[in-house]
Amino acid sequence: MSRAAFARRFTELVGRPPLGYLTDWRMTPAADLLREPNTAIASVARRVGYRDPFTFSAAFKRVRGTAPSNLRRGPFR
């Protein structure tokens, strides 16, 4: 199956493109890890597959609507 065919089929079945799905999926465990005390953002970035914490922070903010550092200070604590 070609990449284009896979992407079309995936989007039909899941309702969103593969890369968008993957990014959202990565941010779910990232949000959980950010809630752990004394866990550095750079460490969370590496654990969910980002080499650069700045790239991770930008992606997290784009997907979740808030910076990782803001999530840590949120009402969940």
77 within some domain: no
Q: Taking the model in full, what pTM does it have? A: 0.78
> What domain range is 44 assigned to?
19-72
pLDDT per position as a tens digit, 21-67: 999 999 999 999 999 888 899 999 999 999 999 999 999 999 999 99
- Give the total number of structural domains in the chain: 1
47 within some domain: yes
DSSP string, 3-67: HHHHHHHHHHHHSS-HHHHHHHHHHHHHHHHHTSTT--HHHHHHHTT-S-HHHHHHHHHHHHSS-
14 within some domain: no
Output the domain CATH number for residue 30. Answer: 1.10.10.60
State the pLDDT confidence band at 75, using cuts at 50, 70 and 90: low
- Nearest-10 Cα torsion for 45, 31, 36, 67: 70
65 within some domain: yes
User: What are 19's two structure tokens?
Assistant: 């890369």
